[in-house]
Structure 1
Amino acid sequence: MEQRQVNPMLKTALEFGPILGFFAAYLWLKDRTFVIGGTEYEGFIVVTAGFIPVFLVCMGALWALTGHLSRMQVVTAVLIVVFGGLSVWLNDDRFFKMKPTLIYLLFGGALAIGLMRGESWLQYVMDGLVPLQREGWMILTKRVAGFFLLLAVLNEVIWRTMDTEVWVYFKTFGLTVAIFLFFMFQGGLFKQYGTQDADEE
């Protein structure tokens, strides 16, 4: 199915709106306790319960507007439903905090398997966004796989050793900034192995 163009601001709002909404709701409700059906739930669990349908609605709207969702978005949505649902059902925030770890392990591991087969599976996902020679894709894939595995370890360390508020700040801003900086520092690779100039000539 051909991907349709959509207003970039709207696309960004649908992708990042639920995360920022989760952060704002957590700051608002973090010190409150709710009794639902005779069971006490901390604010974090209530916010998690609200985040799941909001995220799914935004992903559904994005799919309706563009006609496309990446594999990463689909897998992320499934893990949010599963691990977020477990946190709410069992009244245990640990499951939701484990979710980023599993996401990064899955994608980092998948990229590593592709590399062992002599393939860059990252290229299949990003080929339209980043024009690179094959050697460049292989190098970038190795770096991204290692970076994802590092983020998985970092998430585990933070949620297991620090309080929930630190983890929420890390999840909302720390991971986003880390990914942004990582790709910024790949500028030399993109310049050396980029194919755009060759195509123009």
Structure 2
Amino acid sequence: MSVEPIEPVAPAKKAEPHPLLKLVLELGPLLVFFFANSRGEWLASTFPMLADLGDPIFIATGLFMVATAVSLTVSWLLLRTVPMMPLISGVVVFIFGALTLYLQNETFIKMKPTIVNTMFGAILLGGLYFGKSLLGYVFDSAFKLDSEGWRKLTLRWGVFFLFLAVLNEVVWRAFSTDFWVAFKVWGTMPITIAFTMAQMPLIMRHSLEPKEQTVEKAMEKPTEG
């Protein structure tokens, strides 16, 4: 039985935003979530309408949804497109955020990273099973790698997404809400950045582009919120 070769799948090249703007759009909602949770009581007393949402975690959830909507809107207005990963993550934020507020149950927003990371992990590993590397679509990437490079990188990211899903489950179930919120911003983000940088040797070995251009693109990879 012959094995079909891995076919890299990448989207058409399009204009990229300034790296600083891209960072703000991706990290902005997370920072709003962290600030609102840590200063929830102050926000409730300063803006009485927010007090109706409930405890700080619910205020943070509501503002997180607003910040996510603003981020996606700005991305669309500037680029006339929304990258796949932030779009899917945003949809899950709206659904689980709404359930969190309506049912006054913080479990839903805590499970959001688990759902998103499991989804992306399953997409990447499922694509490999059918002989396709879907990493380009998930990361809105314009990398030019050979087939072996796409296969190896897709496998690594698929496993890493599943690792993040398990890690989120462990943290929110074993620690306090405040710890989980802080870890979501100051723990998951550095881990993802470190993992991204650790893939540079693989990317450089299999890249079909000049070294400088490859490094620049690798530094612009998005992270899940």
- Residue 203 of structure 2 corresponds to residue 190 of structure 1: yes
Unaligned runs of 5+ in 1: none
How far apart, CA to CA, are the structure 2 residues paired with 1:79 and 1:127?
Answer: 18
For 1:185 and 1:56, locate their aligned partners in 2 and report how far apart those are by CA, in whole Å. Answer: 32
| 1:15 corresponding residue in structure 2 | 26
* Structure 2 residue 82 is the aligned partner of structure 1 residue 69: yes
1:61 to partner: Cα distance: 1.0
1:51 and 2:64 correspond: yes
Counterpart of 2:118, as a letter, is L
Mapped to 2, the partners of 1:128 and 1:154 lie a distance apart of: 25
Q: Give the 3 Å change call, closer, same or farther, for CA 170–72 of structure 1 in structure 2.
A: same
User: CA-to-partner distance for each residue in 1:116-136, whole Å, 9 max, x for gaps?
Assistant: 001101134457443211110
CA pair 166-30 structure 1, distance change in 2 beyond 3 A:
farther
Between the aligned partners of 1:119 and 1:9, the Cα distance in structure 2 is 32
Paired residue type of 1:165: D
1:179 matched residue in structure 2: 192
Once the two structures are superposed, what CA deviation does each residue of 1:71-98 show, in whole Å capped at 9, x if it has no partner?
Answer: 1111111100000110011001000000
Distance 1:82 1:132, change over 3 A: same
Q: Distance in 1 between matches of 2:165 and 2:107?
A: 15
Which residue is 2:118 aligned to? 105
Amino acid across the alignment from 1:51: F
Q: Distance between the aligned counterparts of 1:56 and 1:164, measured in 2?
A: 23
**Which of 27, 31, 37 is 1:26 aligned to?**
37
Shift of 1:5: 4.6
Name the SS for the 2:182 alignment partner: helix
Moved more, 82-91 or 185-194: 185-194
Residue range with higher mean Cα deviation, 2-11 or 141-150: 2-11
CA contact (8 A) 1:2 1:67 kept: no
CA distance in structure 1 between the aligned counterparts of 2:33 and 2:190, rounded to whole angstroms? 17
Higher relative contact order (CA 8 A, sep 6+): 2
Percent of residue pairs bearing the same amino acid type = 34
The answer as to whether partners of 1:4 and 1:65 remain within 8 angstroms in 2 is no
Q: CA RMSD in A?
A: 2.8
Task: Note the C-alpha offset of 1:22.
Answer: 1.4
Q: Which deviations, in whole Å up to 9, do the C-alpha atoms of 1:43-82 show, x marking residues without a partner? A: 1111111221221022101111011111111111110000
Give 1:17 deviation, angstroms. Answer: 1.2
Letter in 1 for 2:157: V
* 1:11 CA drift (Å): 3.0
What is the SS of the residue equivalent to 1:69? coil
Q: For structure 2, list consecutive stretches of 5 or more residues without a partner in the other structure.
A: 1-11, 214-225
- Whether 2:105 is the aligned partner of 1:89: answer no
2:150 paired with 1:137:
yes
After superposition, give the CA deviation of every residue in 1:109-152 in whole Å (9 maximum; x if it has no partner).
Answer: 01111010011011344574432111100001111111111110
Distance in 2 (CA, whole Å) between partners of 1:127 and 1:161 is: 34
Residue of structure 2 equivalent to 1:79: 92
Normalised TM-score (structure 2): 0.79
Structure 1 residues 171 and 12: CA distance shift in structure 2, 3 A: same
Question: Would you say the 8 A contact 1:132–1:190 is kept in 2?
Answer: yes
Tell me if structure 1 keeps the 8 A contact 2:124–2:133.
yes
Alignment check: 8 A CA contact 2:13 2:142 kept: no
- CA 1:3/1:156 → structure 2, altered by over 3 Å: closer, same or farther? same
